[in-house]
Structure 1
């Protein structure tokens, strides 16, 4: 545990002795606060300087959006926690070369967007708004937490012909467990955090479906899926990728890599090629389905 985590742990656990609800409120707020805001890398800047930018309003905050291409055959890119759209830069040129347009965004509290926090509901709002304006999507490519948030949006009406997850989170509970473990939160404080998550994020959801898991979307999502995860991912365990692929058995193809970790996997040439080839399969399916001109 680093010094910041140690202090946070002591404060939250100490407060919980006096008031579990007060400590739970603090734990809930901190849970949704990215503690670092990444910047555009030099190698990413030229591409993002050429993007058409816009924004989506999310609860008084602005989520910055990026677009390339003419709007046809759109592909949505969804970044993960403490990340930004530019981390998915390596996929953009290949998608444009294949005739796709590309849409991406910085979630609230991330990248160039405003705010200090973000929830799965904020991600859903941005994804749904972009879908209403530019969708349905030819493909959706999501990394880390962005994968779980994308499934939540897909369950609520967003459509994509192909879905790619990279280092994806399958279960919201996994994030809660990792957070509580990292801060060594007391059991009753963890219980209070779960109660707040159920009340604030998933009101009206049956208890057995709270918190959300991508496995809850199997009846709503029927698109072919590519699940890529690294065996050495120390941030999101490969078991999450395996669980995700297993839940969509028959529709999902699991590809595991080695030595790429959680973030470097996004720039690996073989991973990029695999994703582009998978998206291109949708073009071949469409070509077979479209009637030939006389």
Structure 2
């Protein structure tokens, strides 16, 4: 496969995964903002998904409709849903011969939906949950269509590699920012709604209730989001799948490049797999998450240099 094609498939997938994460986070946090209008702040969401500095984020933190406009349709926000979907579509258009017709249709439909002029009016006046749900469903349709129509070749591997790198970074970022509210104190008491909305934002609330019967505890939340291989958005689940799809790229022509990236993924996989909540807390949750994200960034950069001909 041409490096240009692999690059486009990889970034198309990363942009779509990021879009899904942004929309789910916006939906759950909007619901949370309605429960506690005065105390609620959008600053954690802005910190995770935008490039705003502290002063800019603070100025926008209590303007719910303003945040929704900025995060969904603002052309000046490089991480807005509009810009992410546009970039994904551009990458998909450049490799139409390597994706299915159904996938292209999903990308195109999503693009035209998020570009509707009425979207700004709906976000400002109507119930945002309805709008966000509509956009989330477009993403779900894309992921499902990709899964059932894409041939299991190199292209599919690059799509999944991009998807799981992005997902692992997102989960680590969300956990890091949420725990920074309590200065990473595992024993600080938080009310049920705090943990509930954190888990809902990454679709982990129902699994948590089924796994842990004793109520909400910081240790259990960390255990699920980092170490639970049955949770599709956990760090270990994403790293395991990243390793699985990368191993499919091995061939006799790229042994050295493959071994370099494979070693890096395997090292990260072992570090996460053989951790426990206790060892993570001993090391320091912030340090563990920061190192994990840095490892993922380096894996992505090395993958780009070895497979996409980046200098």
Structures share fold, TM-score greater than 0.5: no
Structure scoring higher RCO (CA < 8 A, sep ≥ 6) equals: 2
**TM-score, normalised with respect to structure 2:** 0.35
**TM-score, normalised with respect to structure 1:** 0.36
